[in-house]
A and B are shown apart, each in its own frame.
Chain A
Amino acid sequence: MKLLKKGFIKVTSLLMIVSLMLGLIGCGNDNNDDNKNNGGTDSIVDDLPRDENGEFVADYLEGVQLNVWSVIGNPDQKILLELIKEFNKEYAGMIEIKVTSVGHYDYYNSLDSTYANDYGNFPDVCIMHNEKNIEYALKGYFYSLDDLITTVGVGIDFDNAYDNIEKTTIHEGKHYGIPVDAHGYLTQIRQDIIKKNGLGFENNTRFIPNDYDEYQTLLEGLRALADTGELWVRNINLDEDHSWYQLKNGNSKLDAAAVVTTDNFYPAFFHSQESDNLTALYVNGGSLLDANGDVSFHKNAGMTQYVTDLVDRYNADLYGDAGNKEAAFPTGQIVMFSEGPWMVANTYDIWWNNNQLSTAGKLGVTEEDASDPVYANPYAVARPYYMAADGAPTETASKWYGNGHVITLTKKITSMQKAAAALIFAEWLTQGQNEDGNYNLIDWCKSGHVPAWKNVYESDAYKEAESKSITLQAMGDPEQIIALESSQYATTLISGLTTAVGNVSAQLLSVDGCTVDKAKQTMNEIAASTQEALNLLKLGIK
């Protein structure tokens, strides 16, 4: 009996050890090839259909399916899907694109998880943010594209791309993505309130500030009038009372929550956006990393001033935590806020330049309101305003930060036919033209992006589209955009910068408040912590 017991224990133990060993061997996947981290294309089998001269002929492609993951969400997702539908129609029988839209917050997590645990479902092509391009390329997810473009012979000439946007796709001289577009966050402005209160520029005939000083003057002017209760505001929400009232009198026709008072009014909504912080850094000639690869955002004088300005210049009276910005803006509780350009044309313009405001005699709209182009179209947008500190380089002082989208080819592609199909799609979207000779990319740009390609931006069709779009007008010339410096640690660096600014902003809201010295100390401490995080990551990757 004892022997049997011992035998049972032995068998059980053996079973556990064998399982353990099998598990250790079996854990993981089959995607850890040597070719992974160098972007090399050795693993692609050349199965291109060729003519008698050995040249690849795209028309010979047959039934190539591409699994594409897109990070683009609504409202502009709809436009991308329409374009892809058009592509599939044009290349019917040859190439078919199947798009999976993955939300911004899940995209990179899903990419990592699928790569690690479900490689069979990893996409062939990624449409993703350009600031993540090199970080994910160096994880070994993407091919470098230069040789592939030459082999396939598609008409993608990077000389036509804007260098300032294209740079996000380059690592050690190799391209890991094809740039599509760029965009920065825009400032949304209630120009009707500015005009009504006589705070406009050039004798109250221009209501969008041209530079940082004008912007600051406007913030302070709005605050001063609000403090005495003399500020005029009105509600521009659909179906609500649009009549003007001064803060000290209130508007009895509105619900209590929609009435603006001296206490709940703020000239601008405080919302620390990473793009705002990066703009402040780059216009002042700063960088996230210095030449030695060390964290350097805190070393830039202009950036430091931007953070200390939060304490002693903007202060909590000018920028306020006014709850929901999209609820506060139309009521007049805030006059300005920052948001992505994709929201402007398809959403905000429709909401807040509604035709009720140009219809006199209803909902408190007077003849004067209805006939005035500013009162009838109170919503406007402009590029964000940042002060280039003294000594800021002139070549960057008037620019702004913008990110964008790129198309990448993943290591899942092992057939040259697929690679060719993916490049044909990238070419079609970025450089392809429709029957009228207009670039397909223009249709995409209408949803709130400037093209990453010079020939597209300079085309007549784009200029025409720009003249009709307040978004494209506000964003202007792609040359003015400064894209992120290419880095393996982009996410950690951006997070460090955003945490630094966010931490100072949070201190301003706290009971203890914040001082200039404390703000500087906070930024230095967070920069040091970010540097340590980089050191840690480098140790982990060794």
Chain B
Amino acid sequence: MKKTVVLEEYAKQRSKRIGALKKYGITALFLLPYLIAFIVFFVLPLFYGIYISLTNFQYGKPGVETFNSFLWFKMIFDKSVMPGVFNSFWLSFTHTLIFSVIMVPIAIILPLSLAILVNQKPPAFKLFRALIYMPSIVPLTAAGTIFTLLFMSKSQHGVLAEFFGIDIQWFIDNWFSFDLFGQEIEIAYAWIPIFFMCLWGGWGGNFIILSAGLQNVPKHLYEAADIDGCSPMRKIMNVTVPGIKPQLVLCLFTTILGYLGLYGQNYVLSSGGPSIAAIASMPAGGKTSTIMYFIQDIVANNLTFKSSLYGLGAAASLVYALFAGVISGIQMYLTREKKTGTKISEAYNKWHEIR
């Protein structure tokens, strides 16, 4: 039986289809390059990484691996399976966490202070701005050379030893130790050059972002604060900081993730050492090893590990990603834009208008 279509209805449907195609087709067209890149460089590696972490995958011999009953995850979470791996993973994890807890506030507060000072536009402030940002353009390896020369021992004519008589074996000596959950954590002096290199090379990026944010803080708020008799510190806390909150949140997000993934500075300065005898032959068996160092030792630095322990590297990467995700999530939640007071009604009105 032939179907009868009313011309008007057909025209309406056709017009609807063309309209939708235009609207979503163009959207899809624009999305496609990104979508392809996203799938190829993120989704695919993520799922492939999960797959590798569940097998005895061997680098260079894909296709022969078999499921290994979560062995790599058991090694990471159960000490009895392989104590060396457990210890080195959680020790490098602890190093990362402690360093991040110390470093992140400093890496935000120092650039913020500098940005506020430069924003006062003192004489030659443009020069200061350039000088402060300059370390950020120095490549990591070059910065590593600079800091190595600074902290070399006296016999190697290190700058600090020669000019200030500081005769410490920065990359060998132990600084202090402490007990954490029954595990002795040895803190090496090598963390000091790493700290300074991170600070020196990292402050420029945050400084520029925060400086840009400061330009946009409404001037009338400062005038109002002046009229109200606010002290300079009060103005900073109650006007400046809230005014650059989006930039602060961005800096906090990138800085936390940056230091949780700390690797390059340790690699060029101390190669993860000095080694810890009990786990010296394990991935990240050094006193300045980080969680990223653990992963890199397996997938890049040690060819023997790379050949047969790729799955462990993938498992460690997933644990790290999960941890970084949780930390970032908490940070995003705590710094979210709270819709209180008039913001709730404004948001409702906006939604209502759109509707």
A51 to B177, CA, bound (A): 77
A510 to B167, CA, bound (A): 10
Count chain B CB atoms within 10 A of each CB in A322, A492, A526 and give the residue with the most: A526
Least CB distance from A459 to B in Å reads: 38
Instruction: Let me know if B156 and A526 touch, CB within 8 A.
Output: no
Stretch in B194-202, B249-257, B275-283, B338-346 with 4+ CB within 8 Å of A: B275-283
B37-68 residues at the A interface, CB under 8 angstroms: 39-40, 43-44, 47-48, 51, 56, 58-64, 68
Instruction: Let me know if A506 and B84 touch, CB within 8 A.
Output: no
A244 near B: Cβ within 8 Å?
no
Chain B residue contacts of A317, Cβ below 8 A:
none
Interface residues of A, dominant DSSP? helix
Stretch in B97-105, B120-128, B301-309 with 4+ CB within 8 Å of A: B301-309
A436 to B35, CA, bound (A): 69
Instruction: Let me know if B156 and A321 touch, CB within 8 A.
Output: yes
A24 to B47, CA, bound (A): 9
Stretch in B168-176, B218-226, B233-241 with 4+ CB within 8 Å of A: B168-176
Instruction: Let me know if B85 and A529 touch, CB within 8 A.
Output: no
Instruction: Let me know if A19 and B155 touch, CB within 8 A.
Output: no
Instruction: Let me know if A23 and B280 touch, CB within 8 A.
Output: no
A540 near B: Cβ within 8 Å?
yes
A508 to B82, CA, bound (A): 31
Chain A residue contacts of B58, Cβ below 8 A:
540-541
Least CB distance from A388 to B in Å reads: 27
How many contacts between A and B, using CB within 8 angstroms?
149
Instruction: Let me know if B47 and A509 touch, CB within 8 A.
Output: no
B267-281 residues at the A interface, CB under 8 angstroms: 274-275, 277-281
Chain B residue contacts of A530, Cβ below 8 A:
280-281
B20 near A: Cβ within 8 Å?
yes
- Specify the chain A residue showing the minimal Cβ separation from B274: A506
B205 near A: Cβ within 8 Å?
no
Chain B residue contacts of A495, Cβ below 8 A:
281
Contact with A along B286-323 (1 / 0, CB 8 A): 00000000000000000111111101100000000000
Instruction: Let me know if B35 and A116 touch, CB within 8 A.
Output: no
Count chain B CB atoms within 10 A of each CB in A19, A140, A322 and give the residue with the most: A19
Contact with A along B154-168 (1 / 0, CB 8 A): 011100000000001
Contact with B along A99-112 (1 / 0, CB 8 A): 00000000011001
A1 to B20, CA, bound (A): 7
Instruction: Let me know if B277 and A503 touch, CB within 8 A.
Output: yes
- Specify the chain A residue showing the minimal Cβ separation from B66: A542
A29 to B64, CA, bound (A): 12
Instruction: Let me know if A19 and B48 touch, CB within 8 A.
Output: no
A31 to B20, CA, bound (A): 48
Q: Give me the interface of A with B, judged by CB distance under 8 Å.
A: 1, 4-5, 8, 12, 15-16, 19-20, 23-24, 27-29, 31-32, 36, 108-109, 112, 115-116, 135, 139-140, 264, 320-323, 489, 491-492, 495-496, 499-500, 502-503, 506-507, 509-512, 521-522, 525-526, 528-530, 532-533, 535-537, 539-542
Known: A36-B61, A532-B282. 20 other contacts (CB 8 A): A8-B28, A16-B43, A23-B44, A32-B62, A112-B59, A112-B306, A116-B59, A139-B60, A140-B61, A320-B155, A321-B153, A499-B280, A503-B275, A511-B169, A529-B84, A529-B278, A532-B85, A536-B84, A541-B58, A542-B56
Shortest 5 CB-CB distances between A and B: which pairs? Answer: A28-B62, A540-B308, A116-B60, A525-B277, A533-B281
